[in-house]
Chain A
């Protein structure tokens, strides 16, 4: 059956990426999160979740009225569901931040009545994990625009699998499913590009992340007088 093949392919791709990330980051230590960092991740996840639920309802409508094409159209706006991951990674700058923020996003969506129910839990985790892998390719040291885009683009890769089953588009064939995945990845990259850096830097400039690495980095760039509270 097609679905099983798709699952298999996705798993293989995921395993390869995780493997590469692991090899590249040998010796990196997982730093403990401060409470502020945990709360930042939780808030990002929850805000993403709350704003994402209407988005999901919209997607449900799209698919209701346009059938399988709706799945493609919906793919274009799915980038928003992944945003907490790249954003949390960018702000907190520690391994695991994206995973945690997206998992919390998933939980928040379930509790706020996402139409896709408990499935979103797993989806959130997988999205966040892949976003983290995206950053890990750059060793959690490069915080330019490229890692952000990669992080956003990778997010949908694994999460696609359960979705394919849930929406019953597995039997639409390879071409269709690859197209859907590519659209989602572009969407993820686009949302990350437009939202992550402006929002992250904007928040840091507003002085709400006192004592985090992002704020220190942003303050170094901007003129000293902008730093006065």
Chain B
């Protein structure tokens, strides 16, 4: 049904990444996003991607098949992006090869490749994070670690939990409207109408449920005190702190090197 893989959800497991606390993983996600962000040169971007993939396979125990299933769509989009950009951007640098009367140059094609791969990498990092971090652990750690008020963190977690239900709901609404003989309209105006007709029933239902949910939470004393106990929390330990510090250092060093022009992250134009 709708929640079998069509939506990126947490998958329970026992890998080192699963056992790592959410804050460290969050730091990791941000660190690798920043590393990927700073690079417009092909070999560096490849390096970042390779490291991310290795982490996924070794520490996340991802299976190749699952990772492909989760990212193939993006892979194709990125390849398309690379091809188109190579054609359309102004050429510079030595010619790599010629195709369809177009000269592909190291700098331009390299740039296109790096940007395309960057998109894929950032997506990949998000996937690794979501698949290995339970929403509750995330909510708990941003409450304890980042001092986000627990009412907000928990409400967000609850809303996330509702996603699979909402997706089923959306499928049902679409089916119901199909039974009514409703087609999908085109154009911006049509798209707006489609959206409204999808969102209103979806929200009516979700908000009706939210009313019950809020009553259920408050009748169990949710929000009665400024703090609450969290049982079985995956807290940041020495290992997590060390990893976070190392990642931070890596990002800082990376950007300092870039800033001092010691390493080049852009092709010189």
B and A form one assembly: yes
- Which residues of A pack against B, CB within 8 Å? 35-36, 38-47, 50-51, 57, 60-61, 63-65, 67, 76-77, 80, 100, 104, 107-108, 110-119, 166, 168, 190-191, 194-195, 198-199, 202-203, 206, 208-210
Q: How far is the CA of A140 from the CA of B65 in the complex (A)?
A: 52
Instruction: Jot down 27 A-B pairs with beta carbons below 8 A, ordered by A.
Output: A35-B155, A36-B214, A39-B213, A39-B214, A41-B155, A42-B159, A43-B203, A44-B203, A45-B159, A46-B159, A46-B163, A61-B77, A76-B188, A107-B156, A108-B163, A111-B129, A111-B130, A111-B160, A112-B130, A113-B127, A116-B122, A119-B122, A195-B199, A199-B203, A203-B204, A203-B207, A208-B210
**CB atoms of B202 and A47 under 8 A apart:** yes
B196 contacts chain A at the CB level, 8 A cutoff: yes
Known contacts: A46-B159, A168-B115. The answer to whether A208 contacts B208 by CB under 8 A is yes
| Chain B stretch 1-52: residues in CB contact (< 8 A) with chain A | 7-8, 29-30, 33, 37
Provide the residues of chain A in CB contact with B217, threshold 8 Å: 35
**CB atoms of A42 and B156 under 8 A apart:** yes
Q: How far is the CA of A38 from the CA of B154 in the complex (A)?
A: 10
Provide the residues of chain B in CB contact with A195, threshold 8 Å: 192, 195-196, 199
Question: Which of B30, B123, B207, B218 touches A208 (beta carbons < 8 Å)?
Answer: B207
Of the stretches B81-89, B247-255, B256-264, the one at the interface is B81-89
Which residue, B156, B167, B192, has most C-beta atoms of chain A within 10 A?
Answer: B156
Provide the residues of chain A in CB contact with B74, threshold 8 Å: 115
Q: How far is the CB of B229 from chain A (nearest CB, A)?
A: 18
Known contacts: A47-B202, A65-B80, A199-B199. The answer to whether A117 contacts B192 by CB under 8 A is no
Interface size (B, Cβ < 8 Å)? 57
Q: How far is the CA of A110 from the CA of B127 in the complex (A)?
A: 9
Provide the residues of chain A in CB contact with B62, threshold 8 Å: none
**CB atoms of A77 and B8 under 8 A apart:** no
B126 contacts chain A at the CB level, 8 A cutoff: yes
Q: How far is the CB of B151 from chain A (nearest CB, A)?
A: 6
For the A-B complex, the count of residue pairs with Cβ-Cβ distances under 8 Å equals: 151
**CB atoms of B159 and A104 under 8 A apart:** yes
B191 contacts chain A at the CB level, 8 A cutoff: yes
- Taking CB as reference atom, which chain B residue is nearest A36? B214
Question: Which of B88, B125, B126, B158 touches A111 (beta carbons < 8 Å)?
Answer: B126
**CB atoms of A111 and B210 under 8 A apart:** no
Question: Which of A43, A80, A113, A206 touches B210 (beta carbons < 8 Å)?
Answer: A43
Q: How far is the CA of A64 from the CA of B199 in the complex (A)?
A: 28
B114-147 interface code vs A (CB 8 A; 1 in, 0 out): 0100010011011101100000000000000000
**CB atoms of A198 and B196 under 8 A apart:** yes
Q: How far is the CB of A178 from chain B (nearest CB, A)?
A: 21
**CB atoms of B126 and A39 under 8 A apart:** no
Q: How far is the CA of A47 from the CA of B127 in the complex (A)?
A: 19
| Chain B stretch 199-248: residues in CB contact (< 8 A) with chain A | 199-200, 202-204, 206-208, 210-211, 213-214, 217-218, 222-223
Q: How far is the CB of B187 from chain A (nearest CB, A)?
A: 11
Provide the residues of chain B in CB contact with A57, threshold 8 Å: 73, 77
Q: How far is the CA of A63 from the CA of B130 in the complex (A)?
A: 26
Provide the residues of chain B in CB contact with A77, threshold 8 Å: 188, 191
Q: How far is the CB of B98 from chain A (nearest CB, A)?
A: 21
**CB atoms of B159 and A117 under 8 A apart:** no
Provide the residues of chain A in CB contact with B160, threshold 8 Å: 46, 108, 111
Known contacts: A39-B214, A50-B166. The answer to whether A100 contacts B195 by CB under 8 A is no
Q: How far is the CA of A132 from the CA of B160 in the complex (A)?
A: 23
Question: Which of B130, B192, B207, B223 touches A35 (beta carbons < 8 Å)?
Answer: B223
**CB atoms of B73 and A46 under 8 A apart:** no
B68 contacts chain A at the CB level, 8 A cutoff: no
Q: How far is the CB of B23 from chain A (nearest CB, A)?
A: 15
Q: How far is the CB of A38 from chain B (nearest CB, A)?
A: 4
Going nearest first, the 3 A-B pairs with the smallest beta carbon separation are A117-B122, A42-B159, A208-B207
Beyond contacts A111-B126, A112-B130: 20 other A-B pairs, Cβ-Cβ < 8 A, are A35-B218, A38-B152, A38-B155, A39-B210, A40-B207, A42-B152, A45-B159, A46-B156, A47-B199, A47-B202, A50-B163, A51-B199, A60-B81, A61-B77, A111-B8, A113-B8, A113-B123, A113-B126, A203-B200, A206-B207
Known contacts: A42-B158, A199-B199. The answer to whether A194 contacts B152 by CB under 8 A is no
**CB atoms of A39 and B119 under 8 A apart:** no
**CB atoms of A209 and B151 under 8 A apart:** no
